[in-house]
């Protein structure tokens, strides 16, 4: 929401359908009263400001001028607008301490042969095969 927008009219209206019924209203023309009445608002009280003001300035001006006439809901509506854009104070966050846990490591059995055993097996197979068997294998080749 832009806080630098200027308004010529300010006041309050009550919508019986809202939880927070009475709210501060800001407008640039008086036809806002007609629109609020059309959508069912009651207790519409909008006045012309002495000069164009921001929502915060208009709220402060109307509170100081006694616009609320002792009505708590009107005062609360303008105070809400004053505090709406106020910087929020960050809350302290509680951080739980984390206790380290022991990690259980399972030993993994591997039945895969090592590279040395594979190399030894290949050498043994080649040594077992005689050169004659290699030649006979080549005679049957189709090339």
Q: Domain locations in the chain?
A: 7-84
Instruction: Name the least confident of 12-26, 58-72, 85-99.
Output: 85-99
Residue-level pLDDT at 51: 93
Burial class (CB in 10 A: 0-12, 13-18, 19+), 68: middle
User: pTM score, two decimals?
Assistant: 0.56
On the question of pLDDT at 46 being above 80, the answer is yes
Residue-level pLDDT at 1: 47
On the question of pLDDT at 66 being above 60, the answer is yes
Mean pLDDT of the residues in the chain: 81
Question: 132 Cβ partners below 8 Å, 6+ apart?
Answer: none
Share of the chain above pLDDT 70, in %: 83
On the question of pLDDT at 109 being above 60, the answer is yes
Average pLDDT for residues 70-79, to the nearest whole number?
87
Share of the chain above pLDDT 90, in %: 15
Cα 73 to Cα 76: distance, rounded to the nearest angstrom: 5
Residue-level pLDDT at 10: 92
Please report, for the chain, how many H helices and E strands are present, in that order.
5, 3
User: Could you tell me which residue, 129 or 136, shows the higher pLDDT?
Assistant: 129
On the question of pLDDT at 95 being above 60, the answer is yes
Phi-psi domain of 124 (left: phi exceeds 0; alpha: psi -120 through 50; beta: other): alpha
């Amino acid at each position: 929401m832009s806080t630098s927008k200027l308004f010529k009219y300010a006041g309050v209206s009550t919508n019986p359908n809202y939880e927070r019924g009475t709210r501060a209203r800001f407008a640039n023309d008086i036809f806002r009263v007609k629109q609020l009445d059309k959508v069912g608002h009651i207790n519409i009280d909008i006045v012309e400001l002495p000069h164009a003001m921001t929502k915060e300035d208009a709220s402060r001006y109307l509170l100081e001028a006694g616009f609320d006439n002792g009505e708590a809901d009107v005062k609360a509506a303008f105070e809400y607008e004053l505090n709406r854009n106020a910087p929020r104070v960050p809350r302290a966050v509680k951080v739980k301490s984390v206790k380290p846990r022991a990690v259980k490591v399972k030993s993994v059995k591997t039945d895969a042969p090592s590279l040395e055993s594979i190399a030894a097996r290949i050498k043994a197979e080649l040594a077992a095969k005689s050169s004659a068997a290699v030649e006979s294998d080549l005679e049957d080749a189709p090339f």
